[in-house]
Chains A and B, each alone.
Chain A
Amino acid sequence: MNSTVFSYFAQSKEISAFIAWMTKLIGFDATSLVAFIIFLVASLIVVGALATIGGLGTYAERKISADLQARQGPNRVGPYGILQFLADGVKMILKEDIIPAQADKFTFILAPFLCMIGVFATLAVVPFSSGFILSDLNVGIFYLVGVASLVGVGVFLGGYSSNSKWSMLGGMRGASQIISYEIPATITIISIVLLAGGLSLGTLIGGQGGLPQEWYIFHNPFAFVGFFVYFISALAETNRAPFDLPEAESELVSGYHTEYSGMRFGLFALAEYIEVFVVCGVAAALFLGGYKVPFDLGTGIIFTERLGMDPMQAKNIGQLLELGSFFTKTLALYYVVIWVRWTLPRLRVDQLMTLCWKYLTPIAIFNLLGCAVWMYAFNGKSIYSLIFESAAIATGHH
């Protein structure tokens, strides 16, 4: 039913032999035990990779902003300053940890943990490739939407518990912004679910192909608009500029994490950068074909047929290609997120709410109905295949 990173590895002979050997050794079915080990290793790899990407994200952000503003950016630590994020991490660990005397201590400590849990739990369904998805739950995208809102709770509690006016304002803004923009984002996701006919990330990506005309963004005009609605909402949900009101440094000092110092602040920052990666990955998966590689290279069958490779080896090469495809798309979107931050000025609170409730939400609802009608009217065909068919009929190649 649900494909997982374990079910991918269980195809290989070595792992099945290992399961059989373990079963004999301990006397009962060892599948779950081996699954646990594989899941643990895979989770460690994912968390390690994403923490590095999050760290490199801070570096990329500073370097790109420097480029956009004709500055140098970090250039002291390591070649081109690439180790800057490690130095930052060490600094954060070494900084004194201050908890304000008037703060609500328990909630103050809890808030960054909630942010981290919310972001890390979403990683379970991020589709890196068709084999390397930690767990392709059958309610995947629904789960992702639900768990990601824990971050909003973390942001609000962080602001509230600090008992500082800046933090309170930032936390309130953060909470209202994150919940407001969840509406257009979720409704847009629903319209893509309509097209794919399933909630698991595998189904959502499986309905698309490797080539751009097979992506859902070009499936119909409503989905095309939907991509931008989702992307804008995702920017707002992750508190990225031009929607970074919860931490607007020119008015609120540092917003909801004003009172956080050292590693506790670092956890908020890490969670934010990983979350940006996750929402970019989801945007890539829903609209840009996710891990799909053109011409079905991802399945690896072609390598076996043409080059006579071992099936499992060919499959692994296909997986690597899929990983490359996913990361290319996601990191391209990540770059756009950073680019937008250093290009656009920040919105005002009332403008932010107007944009969400008076523009994005009605547009998202319209898109949802549009997608449903399109599916019904054209029997689920994409605009490309409709043009292709009518062209074939017109030229008489029917």
Chain B
Amino acid sequence: MSSLNLDVYMPIVILIGLAIAVAGGSLLVGGIIRPHHPNKLKESPYECGEEPVGSAWANFNIRFYVIALIFIIFDVESALMFPVAAVFKRFNEIGLGGTLLLSILTFVLVLVAGIVYCWKKGDLDWVRSFNAPQVQTGSKDK
């Protein structure tokens, strides 16, 4: 088999197909035999017996978005690290390990600087609002 053979990707397509088939199949089979008596109460969101007030699609805690932003930076970073890591051993064997080590170091240091910055800014603290008033008073002690 040549290295360009696409047969090796076949299982992925098959498995995705199987996932859809298993999920869809079990829902279809269930659809034939299960009861279906909808009413208004059943179809309202469950809130432990209370009448639901308003929609759940409201403004949400901003912390989650900050986490998502930090995540994207680190995720892209780790995606870029994979190729370097994969060739590191081979480069090390022919004596070029130092070069790669330096490049990894430089790359990671930038990120460490990033995480230190986030940490100092308080973006890694979940309950930042408790610390916020101290900043707003403008007192520069600490």
Contact = CB atoms under 8 A, between A and B. Distances in A.
Interface of A: 1-2, 4-7, 31-32, 35-36, 39-40, 42-44, 46-47, 51, 92-102, 112-113, 116-117, 119-121, 123-124, 134-137, 142, 160, 162-168, 172, 175-176, 179-180, 182-183, 186-187, 190-191, 193-199, 253, 258-259, 262-264, 266-267, 349-350, 353-354, 357-358, 361-362, 365, 368-369, 372-373, 375-376, 379-380
23 contacts: A1-B2, A1-B8, A4-B7, A43-B18, A101-B40, A116-B20, A134-B11, A142-B82, A166-B46, A175-B64, A176-B68, A182-B75, A190-B81, A197-B86, A197-B88, A197-B89, A263-B26, A353-B124, A353-B126, A365-B115, A368-B108, A375-B92, A380-B92
B111 to A, nearest CB: 7
Contacts of A32: 7, 10
A112 B23 contact: yes
Interface string B37-73: 1101011111110001001110011001001101100
A258 B46 contact: yes
Contacts of A112: 23
A382 to B, nearest CB: 13
B75 A186 contact: yes
A179 B60 contact: no
A367 B72 CA distance: 21
B56 A167 contact: yes
A376 B101 CA distance: 8
Contact of A135 (B9, B37, B125): B9
Interface string B98-141: 10110011001001100100110000111100000000000000
A186 B72 CA distance: 13
Contacts of B70: 357
Interface string B1-23: 11101011111101110111011
Given A197-B86, A354-B126, A361-B115, A43 B15 contact: yes
B40 to A, nearest CB: 8
A375 B124 contact: no
Contacts of B90: 197
B48 A180 contact: no
Given A120-B19, A179-B68, A6 B7 contact: yes
Given A162-B56, A167-B56, A369-B108, A124 B71 contact: no
A135 B11 contact: yes
Interface centre among B24, B37, B64, B118 (most CB of A within 10 A): B64
Contacts of B26: 93, 263, 266-267
Contacts of B89: 194-198, 375, 380
B138 to A, nearest CB: 27
A262 B34 contact: yes
Contacts of A197: 86-90
Contacts of B78: 183, 186-187, 190
A168 B111 CA distance: 32
Contacts of A124: 11-12, 15
Contacts of A102: 44-45, 55
A193 B35 contact: no
B104 to A, nearest CB: 5
Contacts of B115: 357, 361-362, 365
Contact of A353 (B7, B67, B108): B67
A123 to B, nearest CB: 6
Contacts of A167: 45, 56
